[in-house]
Every structure is written in structure tokens, then in C-alpha cells.
A and B are shown apart, each in its own frame.
Chain A
Amino acid sequence: MPTLFRNPIAFALVAIAVLLLLGSTISIVPETRQAVIVRFGEPVRIVNRYQPDEQFGSTGAGIIARLPFAEQIVWIDKRVLSVEMERQQVLSTDQLRLQVDAFARYRIVDPLRMYISAGSEDRVSEALRPILGSALRNELGKRPFAALLSPERGQVMQNIEAGLNRVARQYGAEIVDVRIKRADLPDGAPLESAFQRMRTAREQEALTIRAQGAKQAQIIRAEADASAARVYAESFGKDPSFYDFYRAMQSYRYTFDPGRSGQTSVILSPNNDFLREFQGK
């Protein structure tokens, strides 16, 4: 040993060898990963496997040892993963089209099965994607358009989830959630016709509002006229003959007002009542 310390190159070589051995024996399993330990291609055990209701800190994560060079670790994500579906065009039972974007979240609950059947998380996503699409199309295609708008409330999503789960289980995965992200009318004719419908609805509303306004205005005017007539009648009705005289006087003033009707000439007879006193009788 002392000779080893005196020969630095040998010491370094030994140190490197020890480090390599340690590195291939000891591994750290983080909380976010599951590890499948494979001995010469044969899976022997699983570390930090997902358990429902587990608490972090009491999982299988931590330091593990394995046989160096003989055993390899296949890392599998333990977290909830997402698979996004390509846009699907769904045809409703009343022949209307809808573009749907959906996503599913899943978790690998059986890493061993997943390792054997798919190999990696990406392959699971790839396998689930078309199935999610077709499940969605099938399930939504059974419904009228109006029901598609709020499919979350119905049985629809649960059916899709159940269908997807059957497939996912083959890959050792479990679907956590399936959800429609967007549901839009396809561009072009369907969108245009929807816009057209909205436009005509608004035009109709505008016309209705105008007509209602005119009607209300007319009613208000009529009521005012009626109430004015009532006021007049109440007041003038007290003495119709005096009203006749009173109103005639007003009318004369108004009619013969030079400012209004210009210069007027009258021809009077001395017998006129107004000129009665002219004759000194």
C-alpha cells in the first residue's frame, strides 16, 4: 500500500476504477422516476413503483445498489404525463362539423408492463394518441351538435376515458383525465354561416329595438295629448259660453296679429256692434 501512495499514477488509476465501480453499483432514484432493473435483458425488480395514496418521502425513492455491469436501469417517469391529440373533425348526428382538440393525462402505474410492451413513455403517447382521437370521434359523433358544446357535463368524457383506459392498461398506464381543450367550428363555410346567423340575429334585434322605441314614443305622445285634453276639458267645461267668448277673443288677437299675418284691411259698417257708439245713439 505505501508503494501505491508513492506512485501517483497507479493511485489515480485505482481511484478511477473504484469510482467507476461505485458509479455502476450505486444509483439514486429520484422521486419523479421509477426504475426497472434489468439483468442481462431480464427485468428483475422495480424500484419506486407508483402506489396510489403514497406520500413523498415514504416512497421507494433513494439510493439503490445493483450488480455492476450485469444489471441496467431503465428509467420510467413516475409523474402524470400528457398526450395531446391532433385536431379532430367530429361530425354530429345533425351533420354539423366541429373541430375538437383534446388531451389526456396518464401515469405509468405498471412500469414493467410498459417496459415490455412499449419501451418508453414516448411510445406510449404515440400509441394512445390515435386511440384517443378515434374514441373521441366515435363518442362525440353519436350526439347532436348542441350536446357537443358542453360534453363535459354528460357521460361522454367518462365513456372516452373508459375506452382509452382499456388500451392504456395494455401499456401499463392509467388514464387520469381526458378533457376537451377546444371545440371550434371549422374554418370556411361552417364558421361563415355561424357568423351570418349571428349577424342576422343582431340585425333583427336592431330593427326590433328601433320599432319598440318608435312605439313607445308614440304612446308617450298620445298620452300627453290625452292628458292635455283632459286638463282643458276640466277647466273650460265650467262655463262653455264664456269659454267660447274667451277663446274667440284669443283667436282674434292671434289671427289679426300683424306680426304674424301681415297688414290686414277691414271694412266696417257703422252698424257694427263695435261702432255702435259712433252714432251717439
Chain B
Amino acid sequence: MKRIFGWMPRSIAAMSQGPWGNKDGGSGGGEGGNDGPRNPWTQPGSGNRPQPGRGPSAIEELLRRGRESFGGRGGGGGFGGIPQRPDGKPLWPIALGLIVLVWLALTCIHRVGPQERGVAMMLGKYSRTLTPGISITLPAPLETVQTVDVEEIRTIDIGSTSADQENLMLTGDQNIIDLAYSVRWNIRDPGLYMFQLSDPDSAIREVAESAMRSVVASVSLDEALGAGRTGIEQQVEQRMQEILDAYRSGVRVQGVAIKQADPPAAVNDAFKGVSAAQQAAQTDLNQARAYAQQQTARAQGEAAQFDKTYEQYKLSPEVTRRRMYYETMEQVLGNMDKTIVETGNVTPYLPLPELKRRAAQPAEPPVATTGAR
């Protein structure tokens, strides 16, 4: 690598210089004179550019450098970048040794994090699983290691909670439900995970969809919408695990979570109608209960009042009876107009027009007809 990087910039510089020189050479000396004032930073030597021999010499230069660097692998020292040791022997074996050492260090020592496992393969063949910590393997082409994160919980989302996308499923009672759920899983066996399924991630997704649909198809819509959700989640999880175990996928399903279970948007209004009806029914019941409370309380109150009065009445019935009579009459007659008429010899005069007038003007104070007020 070092050799290549040392060689590249030079050759690029040589190549980019060549065409430039050629172009300017072709366009003639007159233009070269115009270039001078426009490019004050060009070197004084740039006046040499229009020389016709410049182009071919650049290519020769490139070839020469190429030969030098190629020859440097065998002979050493030809490549100007690497100095020689004092005793004249080339320095490159030491550099090569260093590179090999670095390479060994990088490929033999593996650090496996606490959440990871390393799968070591000896010439393509599974040899062992590296546990967390520092492990030493054979160098790279012989033994390779792939680390796999086994603790990380991966999530697959199926369906979406947004309104414009629906993931419709048929329930057992041939209704349709819109479900969004997610599956969490991690890797239980890195070896199986890597070697068993050609595309484990999409396999898990397919298995999740299949398991969810088969479970939902066995429950009713109401169950899926409400109370049965936990049960569905558990059944799907169990089913998925069974199928994935049958594949020997090395995957553990950590959980299935139903994020949303709704009736499809097309029938949502009808479902809202049901809850509106439930509310209305509840309102009816509440009003009836309030009425019942009121009625019973009133009955009890009135009965209690009567009972108390009756208790007193029984002590001296006649007096109490008269007392109550007079009190009532006082109250009743005290508030009204009274006309006392001797029966028999006087024709009672009933001031009907007066009464009508009064009825029309209720605010006016009553005019006393006959008798005391």
C-alpha cells in the first residue's frame, strides 16, 4: 500500500502536466503571451511551456518513473522515497516485516464486546464462537471472524399507525380489522443465524405476518379490538418461535406488540355509532337512577313527616286536629280576598268583570270589594 501511495501522486502529477503542456503548445505562441498577465502566479518558467518537445518528454518521464518504481521491488533503492541503510542493504525488508506485524496484530487479536459474539471460521469452516473479551485466532486468510450483536433487540414494524395506510386482516368471524404491530427479536445462536437461512430478516418478517394472520383468523373481531389483544400477542410470539425453531434460524422472538387494532376506516363511523349508542344508553340509565333516587327519597321524607305528625296526633287527636285545621285556614285565608255573605236574604254579588280585569292586570293591587282585608 505504501508503495502505491508513494507512486500515485507522482504519476498523476506527470499525467496532468503532460496534456496541459500539449494543449498550450498546440494553441500557438501568441496566446501564450496573453496568458502571462492573466496568471500572475504562474512560474517564470511557464514561458517554456509552448516548447513543442514538452509533451513527448512528459510521457517519457512517466514511463521512466513507472519503470523505476517497478524495478524498485526487486532491486531496491531505485525508488527515491526509501533511503538505504548505512551498510548499503535496502530498508524495505524491515518495512515489509512491520507491515506483516501490523497485519498479524489486526487479524489475530479480536475484541468481542459484551453484547457480541464472534463467529470464527477456519478457511470457511465454522470453528468456534468467540465469547466477549479478547480472543486470538490465526491470521486473516486462515481464520476469519465475524462479530454478531446478540443482545441488540431488533424491531420489525408491520402495518402502520397512520390513517392513510391500512394493514387489513380477516378475523375469525369474517370481519376486517386494521392491525399495526411490531416484533422484537434478537439472535440466540450466531452460527445458526449466519448459516441457516438465506435471508433471515425477511424470513422473520414473513413468519410474523403469517403467524399474526393465522392467529387473528381464529379470534372474533371484538376480541381482537379489545380484550383479546394480550392473548393474540402471546400466541403470535409462541407461533413465530415454533416456526423459526423449525427453521433452526437461531433467532429468539422477544415479544410481539400490537400497536394499534382498529376497525377499518371505511366502517369507522358505524363503530363510533356503537359507542355513541352506549353513551346514550348510559345517559338514559343515569337519568332513570336519578329519578328513582328522587322518588324514593321523597316518599320516605313524606312518610316520615306523616309518621311524626301522626305520633303527636295520637296523643290528643281532637286538639291536634283542630289546631292543624285552624293553622291551615289561617294561612290559606290570610292570603286571599274574602267576602262574607249572609245566606238566605242577600243575593250574592259576584264581581265577575272585576275579576277579569284583575286577571288581566295581575300586578295591580287588589281592590277590596266588601269586607275586611
Contacts and interface: CB of A to CB of B under 8 A. Distances in A.
B125 A62 contact: yes
Given A80-B198, A252-B332, A228 B298 contact: yes
Given A105-B203, A150-B218, A194-B176, A80 B196 contact: yes
B270 A202 contact: yes
A258 B58 CA distance: 128
A235 B369 CA distance: 45
A275 B362 CA distance: 29
A17 to B, nearest CB: 16
Contact of A194 (B121, B175, B298, B362): B175
B341 A267 contact: yes
B220 to A, nearest CB: 12
Interface string B70-82: 1101110000000
B197 interface: yes
A232 B297 CA distance: 11
Contacts of B168: 184
A138 B264 CA distance: 30
A268 B340 contact: yes
A239 B70 CA distance: 134
Interface string B280-319: 1111110111011111101110111011011001000100
Contact of B271 (A103, A202, A220, A262): A202
Given A181-B210, A210-B280, A266-B337, A57 B128 contact: yes
Contact of A61 (B125, B269, B304, B358): B125
Contact of A242 (B294, B310, B325): B310
Given A202-B271, A236-B306, A209 B278 contact: yes
B288 A220 contact: yes
A210 B280 CA distance: 7
Given A179-B210, A184-B168, A256-B336, A262 B362 contact: yes
Interface residues of A, number: 98
Interface string A174-190: 00110111111100000
Contacts of A229: 299
A4 to B, nearest CB: 10
A228 B296 contact: yes
A263 B333 CA distance: 11
B321 interface: yes
Interface stretch (B12-20, B42-50, B101-109, B342-350): B342-350
A46 B151 CA distance: 37
Query: Chain B, interface size: which category?
Result: 35 or more
Given A223-B292, A245-B321, A79 B207 contact: no
Given A56-B195, A202-B267, A181 B209 contact: yes
Nearest to A202: B270
A40 interface: no
A59 interface: yes
B288 A79 contact: no
Contacts of B70: 8-9
B91 interface: no
A220 B292 contact: yes
B137 to A, nearest CB: 14
Contacts of B266: 195
A183 B170 contact: yes
Interface in A51-92: 56-57, 59, 61-63, 77-82
Contacts of B362: 262-263
A221 B243 CA distance: 59
A20 interface: no
A210 B277 contact: yes
Contact of B296 (A61, A219, A224): A224
Interface of B: 70-71, 73-75, 121-128, 168-170, 172, 174-176, 191-192, 194-199, 202-203, 206-207, 209-210, 213-214, 217-218, 221, 243, 246-247, 263-264, 266-267, 269-271, 273-274, 276-278, 280-285, 287-289, 291-296, 298-300, 302-304, 306-307, 309-310, 313, 317, 321, 324-325, 328-329, 331-333, 335-343, 348, 350, 355, 358-359, 362, 366, 369
Rank and list the top 6 A-B pairs by shortest CB-CB distance, nearest first.
A8-B74, A213-B281, A224-B292, A228-B299, A217-B288, A235-B303
10 contacts: A149-B174, A198-B176, A202-B271, A224-B292, A235-B303, A239-B310, A252-B329, A266-B336, A267-B350, A268-B339
Given A57-B126, A265-B339, 6 more contacts: A152-B210, A198-B270, A205-B274, A213-B284, A245-B321, A256-B336
